[in-house]
Structures are given as structure tokens and as C-alpha cells.
Amino acid sequence: MDKVFAIDVNNVRKQFKDVIALDDISLKFTPGIMHGIIGPEGAGKTTLLRIILGLLKPSSGAVEFSVDNHSKAFADIRADIAYMPQQESLYADLSIGEHLEFFRQLYGIDDDFYQQKCAELLHITRLSKFVDRPAGKLSGGMYKKLGLICALLRSPRVILLDEPTNGVDPISRREFWDLLYKLADEKILILVTTAYMDEAERCSFVHLMENGKIIEVGEPRVILDKARVKNFDEFFLQRGKHDYS
């Protein structure tokens, strides 16, 4: 039986000189569902992910991890967590196949498992025909898919995705979300940040951020019905903001 992961963010504050990036926020990321961290540019989404990953230290507060309801240190579960950053992080001159082999060696993945996992990931992303194509010559959607399968190669139980569909065409965005749904069906804990308000409704549970604060949490339709709006563009507009999508 697969391990069940959960993450608790407890009263986390992060300040960069005079800028408060996260303002005493607390969140619970419950196991095995897709959590959307939704908000405009500068809301604090990337800072939050980096603190969860230990790439930044909070000014105060803490992040706690649990596996099967037992508290765990981050160092003990690091190998079970995958991260896909917002910035381009692949090597333009390496092909899809060369990237997969690079990460196989980096993660120390057994060859038999690698061959099976690699074939599976290339199939579901429809990249099998392009294994010899350099990353620098991939379309935006294909590039994002390559980043995702590199993150998935060692079968993580927690995936953190920072604005994975930013700058991707609508069809590729839909295909990318279809891939995420397949992962959610495997009871993987998924945290995905986005400034595209239409994508909020694709998540099982959303955490709405603005100016480093959490302004609302819950199931998308429940939040919209409560606010008496049709979508999250209207929700933020109702708060006196502009369209962030």
C-alpha cells in the first residue's frame, strides 16, 4: 500500500527586508488530492513552495510533514517529493531521451524500473516519437511535459508544481491538466500554483492568496457559491482587483 503524505504550514511568515512575502499563513495540504494555490503575480505562491521545500527558511513559523499520520523530518522524505520550478530548468542541447537518462543516473534508478517507467511516461505524455529532439527545439507544451516526466521518474508521492502551464497554449494546458488528473487518481499529493483563474476550478481544493495572505480556502464551487460569483476572475474583481489571468 502506498504511503500517505500530508503537509501542514503553521503560522509561516517570510520577510525580505521591508517586503512581507508571506504574512503569518497556516495551511493544511491533505493527502492524495490536487491542491491549487491561486493568486496573482506577487501573491507569495513561489515563496510558499520554496519554504515547503526547504529552499528558503521562514522568518517565523514552521512546515511539518507526516506520512501515514506519523510526523517525519523533511530529510527522511526528500526522495518522495518532486519539484517542477517555474523557471526553465532543462538543458536546451540535451534531447528528451538524454534528459531521462541524466535523471536516471542522478536518482540512481534501477535499470529495469527505469525502462518500464520511462516507457509509461513517454506514452502518457505522447512524447515517444520525439525522444531524440533537443529540449531547446520543443514547443512550450512539450517542454512542460518533459519537465513533468523528469520530476515523475522516481515515482514521487508529493509533487510541487510552480505555475506549470504559464505561457502554454490552451490545448497544451488542457493536456497538461489531464496528466495531473491521472496522477491525482494515484492518490499523489499535488500542490500546483497558478495565476490563471480558470484553472482554480480544475483543482479539488483551493487556497487563494493575495499580498502574502490567505484570503479563502475550500472547494472551488463552495467558495464561488458563497461569494455569489460565476468564476474566480469575478471573485478577485469583486475584491477590487483586476483580471490576473
Q: In this predicted model, what pLDDT tens digit does every residue of 162-205 receive, in sequence order?
A: 999 887 888 888 888 888 888 887 888 999 999 999 999 999 99
For 154-163, how does the pLDDT look when each residue is reduced to its tens digit (9 = 90+)?
889 999 999 9
Residue 244 lies in a domain: no
Residue 162 lies in a domain: yes
Residue 22 lies in a domain: yes
Q: Is the pLDDT of residue 243 over 80?
A: no
Within the chain, what is the greatest distance between any pair of CA atoms? 55
Domain count, the chain: 1
Residue 111 lies in a domain: yes
CA distances 86 to 18, 164, 193, 217, Å, are 25, 6, 9, 23
Segment holding 217, helix H or strand E: strand 213-218
User: 3-state secondary structure string, 22-84?
Assistant: EEEEEEEECCCCEEEEECCCCCCHHHHHHHHCCCCCCCEEEEEEEECCEEECHHHHHHHEEEE
CA distances 2 to 78, 88, 158, 179, 189, Å, are 16, 31, 12, 20, 12
For 78-108, how does the pLDDT look when each residue is reduced to its tens digit (9 = 90+)?
989 999 988 878 899 999 999 999 999 988 8
Residue 243 lies in a domain: no
Answer whether 0.85 is exceeded by the pTM. Answer: yes
CATH number of the domain residue 71 falls in:
3.40.50.300
Give the residue numbers spanning the domain of 196.
5-238
Residue 135 lies in a domain: yes
Residue 156 lies in a domain: yes
